[in-house]
């Protein structure tokens, strides 16, 4: 158990503090004391509000004419409303652009074009057979990503995913065949730094696109984009197999090349088969099970009940409100960033669970957080999540709180 709670510094909070105060004042008029209390709740005890810093921000916003003071309370001015809605509109536009599935598929296609060109050029000048073989594979990937893009444009996603699965199986067979021929006659591979570097670049670019396509594919529930993301993930395995082959050759075990290739080809064929069977089900009208192809999406679906509970409790701890208002805010907060597109039933389930566990209750048309709810909120805020690369992360951190605050 962790004893000393990690506290956020004034400097870390400062950047967002002005926006946060404007949002709190938009929700309802507040005195300075109330604002300080709400800020403490927003950071769930991770930041003890600095009175002077808050004062500074308030007087700046007064000077900017975003807020005004009436008796002891701060109110948002017309200009303040405009400033907040402009910011929201700007951020929404940016997000829509980044998470458009058509744009994502197009970027990925051009990424493959660039990668394939790079591999052909470096392969040609260095004479690396492995690199040229990978360039041919990447050229096939251009076709696969073009099919994805066309499938999205024509609204024939399941068909595109099915074709993608067949292409992936084909690639698996190609790699299997290639490794078998290398088994019988191991090639004399020469290690070239430039070839190695190119493969590393390939892994990095594919890593980025795989994540990006899973993210956009999950949010838009796009089977073809997720299928393509999965294919890109297998491209990383193929590149690692090529690296292992080169490493083996340099250590005097040229057979490693064929073994790595054979192992990867089996996984690719299984993956291609999975894609084919999943897209067939989608073609029959079933909901796509996107998380099957991504640990990233799977992990997010697993934390959904807790994350949803945290957000509802967090909002209600700041202010009581009607159920509709609360659900609207939860959608803003959770829906904007969650990598899987959530349905109305997902949001409803969160409320049902919280009521059943007696963490919230309804009184005179308003939802109110219970004492148990407050304790659960604190517990969730400090809940550790699986550490990655030895770095321990909390379920909720400063970055998340700031992201959530954008929805208030």
**Which residues of this protein are in contact with Zn ion, per CB under 5 A?**
141, 235
Least distance CB 152 / Zn ion (angstroms): 19
Least distance CB 268 / Zn ion (angstroms): 8
Q: Looking at beta carbons only, is 209 or 338 nearer to Zn ion?
A: 209
Least distance CB 187 / Zn ion (angstroms): 22
Dist CA 353 CA 348 (whole Å): 9
Least distance CB 56 / Zn ion (angstroms): 54
The distance of Cα 344 from the centroid of its chain, to the nearest Å, equals 20
Q: Looking at beta carbons only, is 235 or 257 nearer to Zn ion?
A: 235
Residue 33, SS3 per DSSP: helix
Q: Looking at beta carbons only, is 157 or 235 nearer to Zn ion?
A: 235
Residue 66, SS3 per DSSP: coil
Do the Cβ atoms of 171 and 264 come closer than 8 Å? Answer: no
Least distance CB 245 / Zn ion (angstroms): 17
Token pair listed for 267: 């996984």
Least distance CB 283 / Zn ion (angstroms): 23
Matching residue, tokens 């069977």: 277
Do the Cβ atoms of 374 and 368 come closer than 8 Å? Answer: no
Least distance CB 232 / Zn ion (angstroms): 7
Q: Looking at beta carbons only, is 141 or 257 nearer to Zn ion?
A: 141
Q: Looking at beta carbons only, is 150 or 301 nearer to Zn ion?
A: 150
Token pair listed for 99: 């998470």
Dist CA 345 CA 379 (whole Å): 26
Q: Looking at beta carbons only, is 245 or 373 nearer to Zn ion?
A: 245
Residue 277, SS3 per DSSP: helix
Least distance CB 231 / Zn ion (angstroms): 5
First-to-last CA distance in the chain?
32
Dist CA 32 CA 58 (whole Å): 9
Burial class (CB in 10 A: 0-12, 13-18, 19+), 155: exposed
Q: Looking at beta carbons only, is 235 or 346 nearer to Zn ion?
A: 235
Q: Looking at beta carbons only, is 46 or 151 nearer to Zn ion?
A: 151
Do the Cβ atoms of 314 and 44 come closer than 8 Å? Answer: yes
Q: Looking at beta carbons only, is 44 or 135 nearer to Zn ion?
A: 135
Type and span of the H or E element at 107: helix 101-126
Do the Cβ atoms of 211 and 296 come closer than 8 Å? Answer: yes
Strand residue runs (E) in 175-304: none
Radius of gyration, alpha carbons of the chain: 26
Q: What's the DSSP call for residue 293?
A: G
Least distance CB 120 / Zn ion (angstroms): 15
């Amino acid at each position: 158990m962790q004893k000393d709670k990690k506290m956020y510094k004034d400097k870390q909070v400062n950047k967002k503090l002005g926006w946060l105060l404007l949002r709190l004042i938009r929700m309802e008029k507040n005195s300075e004391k109330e604002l300080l209390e709400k800020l403490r709740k927003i950071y769930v005890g991770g930041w003890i509000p600095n009175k002077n810093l808050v004062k500074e921000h308030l007087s700046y916003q007064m000077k900017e004419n975003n807020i005004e003071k009436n008796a002891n309370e701060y109110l948002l001015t017309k200009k303040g409303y405009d400033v907040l809605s402009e910011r929201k509109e700007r951020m929404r536009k940016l997000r829509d652009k980044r998470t458009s599935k058509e744009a994502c598929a197009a970027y990925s296609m051009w990424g493959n074009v660039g990668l394939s060109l790079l591999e052909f050029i470096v392969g040609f000048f260095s004479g690396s057979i492995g690199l040229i073989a990978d360039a041919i594979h990447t050229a096939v990937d251009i076709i696969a990503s073009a099919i994805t893009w066309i499938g999205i444009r024509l609204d024939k996603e399941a068909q595109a995913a099915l074709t993608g699965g067949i292409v992936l199986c084909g690639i698996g067979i190609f790699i299997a065949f290639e490794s078998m021929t290398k088994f019988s006659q191991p090639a004399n591979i020469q290690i070239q730094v430039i070839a190695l570097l190119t493969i590393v670049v390939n892994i990095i670019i594919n890593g980025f696109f795989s994540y990006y396509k899973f993210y956009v594919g999950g949010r838009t529930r796009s089977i073809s984009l997720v299928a393509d993301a999965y294919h890109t993930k297998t491209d990383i395995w193929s590149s690692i197999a090529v690296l292992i082959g080169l490493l083996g050759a340099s250590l005097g075990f040229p057979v490693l090349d064929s073994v790595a290739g054979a192992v990867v080809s089996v996984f690719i064929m299984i993956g291609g088969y999975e894609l084919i069977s999943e897209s067939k089900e989608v073609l029959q009208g079933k909901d796509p099970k996107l998380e099957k192809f991504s640990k990233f999406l799977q992990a997010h679906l697993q934390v959904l009940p807790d994350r949803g509970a945290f957000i509802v409790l967090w909002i209600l701890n700041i202010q009581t409100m009607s159920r509709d208002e609360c659900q609207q805010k939860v959608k803003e907060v959770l829906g904007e960033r969650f990598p899987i597109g959530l349905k109305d039933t997902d949001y409803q389930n969160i409320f049902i669970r919280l009521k059943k566990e007696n963490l919230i209750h309804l009184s005179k048309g308003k939802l109110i957080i219970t004492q148990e709810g407050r304790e659960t909120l604190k517990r969730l805020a400090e809940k550790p999540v699986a550490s990655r690369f030895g770095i321990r992360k909390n379920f909720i951190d400063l970055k998340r709180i700031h992201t959530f605050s954008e929805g208030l």
